[in-house]
Chains A and B, each alone.
Chain A
Amino acid sequence: MNAEVKQPKVLMKVENLVKHFPVRLGAYGEKKAVVHAIDDISFDIYRGETLGLVGESGCGKSTTGFALLQLYKPSSGKITFDGLELTAMEEKALRPVRKRAQIIFQDPYSTLNPRMTILDAMAEPIRVHNLLPEKEIPARIAQLLDDVGLNFSFANRYPHEFSGGQRQRICIARALASNPEFIVCDEPISALDVSIQAQIINLMMDLQEKYKLTYLFIAHDLAVVRHISDRVVVMYLGKIMEIADKKELFDNPKHPYTKALLAAVPEADPDHERNKSRVILTGDVSNAIDPPSGCRFHPRCQYAKDACKKAQGPQLIKVAPGHLSACPYF
C-alpha cells in the first residue's frame, strides 16, 4: 500500500493493528481459544473529516474504536495520533491525550454514572485535566448543555431522569467538555428511536462544523454512514474489505461484500424496492475464533475462486485514487 502524498493532514494513523482476545471455551473453560477481533488493519484518519466505519456485528468495528483510544491495549500494531505514538505510551502519559481524543458510546443508558449528577459527570473531564477554576465550571457546563440543546436547569439531576435522546446529548456534551479534536462515535444513534436519531445526527454534524471536530463514526447502518461520512471503511470479520470516499464507495463499490451489504439495505421507496435486483448473501458471518483462511469473506462470496481460500488473504489494493479494495478480481 503506497502512502498517498497529496491530501489533508493525517490526524490518526493506524498501522497493522491487531487485537486478539483470549477466551476459554468448553463447560469448564478447559479449551483456550483466541477471538480474532481485528487482524492487521491499517488506515488513516484525516483532520476535520468524518471517517465512517461500517460492518456487521462481530466485524471488529467497535473494537477498533476502543483500540484507537487505547481503551483496549492492541495485541500489536502502531497507532499514531498527531505525531504521538499512543501504542508506546503508559496510561499516565496518555492522560493529556485523553483530553484531545474522546468517545461517545452506543448505549447512553449505561455510560453515565447513575450516582453522579449531570453537572458532576460533565465537570469530570474539566476537573481531571484542570482546565478551569472551580467557579467557572458551571458557566462552561451551561454553555456545553446549550450546545447540545439542553437547559442548564437539568444539571443537578441524575441520569435516570432523562430519555435516551437526552442522555446521548449529555454524553456528547461531556465528550466536548475538554475541547477534543477527535471523537470516536461508537454507534451513537443505534439505541435511539428513529425520530430522535435524526436530531442527534444533525446535532453531531452541527458540532463538527462549529468545533472543527474529526469523527470516527462507527455504525452498522449504511444509510446513516452515507449521510454523515466523508470517507468510509468497510470491515468484515476483523479485516478491512474496502476504503473509499463516500460517493465513490456508494456509487461505485468494488468489493463483493460492499456490494452485497449495499443491496441488503432496504430503502423507504416501494418502487425502488420492487425493481431492485437482489443479490442476497447466503450463510452467516463465520466465527471469529476460527476465521476462514485466505479472504475472510470467501465462504459467503458468490465469486469465490480457489485462490481466495489460499493461506495469505488478499491485501488492500488501489483501484482508483483514494479507493482501496481487498478483492483482486473486481
Chain B
Amino acid sequence: MESEAKKTAVVEEKQYNLFKDAMKRLAANKLAMVGLIVVSLVILIAIIGPMITPYDFLSQDLNYRNKAPSAQHWFGTDDLGRDVFSRVIYGARTAVIVAISVTVLSYLIGIVLGSLAGYLGGKVDAFVVWLIDVFMSIPSLLLVIVVNVSVKPVLVNWMDAKFLETQNQFFRNTTWVDFAIVFGSLAFIKWPKAARIIRGQILSIKNKNYVVAAKALGVPTSKIIRRYIIPNSIGPFIVSISSTLGEAMVLESSFSFLGVGVKPPIPSWGNMISDGLRVWQVYPHILAAPALVLAIVTISFSFLGDGLNDALNPRQWK
C-alpha cells in the first residue's frame, strides 16, 4: 500500500518561503501594487517634502492669489497666494506624522492589553473587554471637541507661561499642542480596535489544534508563541495596521476640516479642504487638489490592505 501511495506522489522539488511567497502574491495583485506605490510615495514625500517643494508653504504672494494651475504653480495658488502644491506636500507630512504616531500609540496600548486579555483570560480578560466596550462607545468627534476645549487651553497656557519664563524657543510654537491632541485623542479611539484584534487572534490560535499538537510534542511555551502564534496572527495584524494608518489619516483630515484638529497655518488636507470649500464654485482647484489626494491615498490604503490579507494567507494560495 505504501508503494501505491508513493506512486501518487508527484516528484517535484519546490522551495517555499512564507514571506517570499507572500510578496510574490502581493506583486501579482495589481490593485495592491498601485496601493503600495501610492502609500510608499506619500511616506517618501512626507519625509523629503521640504526638499522638493518649490515654495514655502507659508510664503504668501498677495499679487498672485487664486490662480489656476500653471507651470509655476502646478496646483495653482490659494486665496493668500500660497502654492497649493507645496501645501499638499506639507499636508502629506502632517497626515503621515499623525497616522504613524497614532498607529504606534494605539498598537502599543492594544498589544499590551489585548495580549494580557488573550493569554490570561478570566477576570483580566473580562476587565479588558469591558474597557474596550466602554472606549468604543465614546463618540470620537465629541471626544476631540471636549479635549480641545478642556485640555488644550491648559496646555497652551502652560506653554506660554514656560516661554515667558525660560525664553526657550521650544515653548514658543504651540503647533505641537495641536498635534499632541490629535495623536492622543485618535490613539484613545483606536486602541480598542487594536486590542480586540490581538485578543481575538490569540484566543483563536491558542485553541487551534496545531498549538495543542505542538504542546503535545513538548514544544516550550516561548517557542509556541514564536513559531505558532505570532506567524499565524501576523497576517490579520499587518492588515489591521495598514487599515488603521488609513483611517487615522482620514480622521485627522476630518478633525482638521471641522477645525478641531491641526490648525492653520500648518497645512493639513482637512483644513485645506475646509478652506477650499468656501470658494469651490469660483476656484475649484483649491478644493480639488487636497480632496483628490486624500481620496486617492485612502483608496490606496484599502487596496493595499486587501492585497496584504490575500497575500499573507497561505490557504488562499493556489
Contact = CB atoms under 8 A, between A and B. Distances in A.
Asked whether the complex places CB atoms of A and B closer than 8 A, the reply is yes
B30 interface: no
Interface in A48-78: 66, 69, 71
Contacts of B10: 153
Contacts of B15: 156
A110 B1 contact: no
B119 to A, nearest CB: 15
A107 B209 contact: yes
Interface string A136-163: 0000000000101111011011101000
Given A105-B209, A150-B6, A203-B1, A114 B217 contact: no
A110 B208 contact: yes
28 contacts: A71-B212, A71-B216, A91-B221, A96-B218, A102-B217, A103-B216, A105-B209, A107-B209, A111-B213, A113-B228, A113-B232, A114-B315, A115-B18, A116-B227, A124-B217, A125-B218, A125-B219, A128-B218, A128-B219, A149-B5, A150-B9, A151-B11, A153-B11, A158-B317, A160-B314, A171-B213, A199-B1, A203-B1
Contacts of A111: 209-210, 212-213
Nearest to A95: B218
A174 B216 CA distance: 11
B139 interface: no
A55 to B, nearest CB: 21
B16 A157 contact: yes
B220 A128 contact: yes
Nearest to B230: A115
A117 B217 CA distance: 16
Interface in B208-243: 208-210, 212-221, 223, 227-228, 231-232
A174 B210 CA distance: 12
Contacts of B9: 150-151, 153-154
A214 interface: no
Contact of B14 (A102, A110, A157, A169): A157
A110 B214 CA distance: 12
B130 to A, nearest CB: 12
A114 B314 contact: yes
B231 A115 contact: yes
Interface in A89-112: 91, 94-96, 98-99, 102-103, 105, 107, 110-112
Contacts of A71: 212, 215-216
Contacts of A129: 218
* Most chain B Cβ neighbours within 10 Å, of A66, A98, A112, A116: A116
Nearest to A96: B218
Contacts of B212: 66, 71, 105, 111
Interface size classification for chain A: 35 or more
B16 A110 contact: no
A202 interface: yes
Nearest to B15: A156
B1 A98 contact: no
B214 A160 contact: no
A178 interface: yes
Q: Lowest 3 CB-CB distances: which A-B pairs, in order?
A: A98-B218, A151-B9, A149-B5
Secondary structure dominating the interface of B: helix
B231 to A, nearest CB: 4
Given A116-B227, A150-B5, A158 B219 contact: no
Given A124-B214, A169-B5, A199-B1, 16 more contacts: A105-B213, A113-B227, A115-B18, A115-B232, A149-B5, A150-B5, A153-B11, A153-B12, A156-B14, A157-B14, A157-B16, A158-B314, A158-B317, A160-B314, A174-B213, A202-B1
Interface in B262-301: none
B3 to A, nearest CB: 8
B165 interface: no
Nearest to A115: B231
A156 B209 contact: no
Contact of A153 (B2, B13, B18, B314): B13
A178 B214 CA distance: 13
A128 B223 contact: yes
Interface in A157-197: 157-158, 160, 169, 171, 174, 178
Interface string B157-179: 00000000000000000000000
A114 B232 contact: yes
A149 B11 CA distance: 14
* Most chain B Cβ neighbours within 10 Å, of A99, A115, A148, A171: A115
A110 B219 CA distance: 17
A99 B217 CA distance: 6
B264 to A, nearest CB: 48
Nearest to A126: B217
A61 to B, nearest CB: 16
Contact of B16 (A69, A96, A156): A156
Contacts of B208: 110
Nearest to B312: A115
A110 B220 contact: no
A23 to B, nearest CB: 14
B232 to A, nearest CB: 6
A144 B188 CA distance: 53
Contact of B216 (A102, A158, A203): A102
Contacts of A103: 213, 216
B314 A124 contact: no
A110 B317 contact: no
Contact of B217 (A128, A146, A150, A156): A128
Interface in A282-324: none
Contacts of B6: 149-151
Nearest to B316: A160
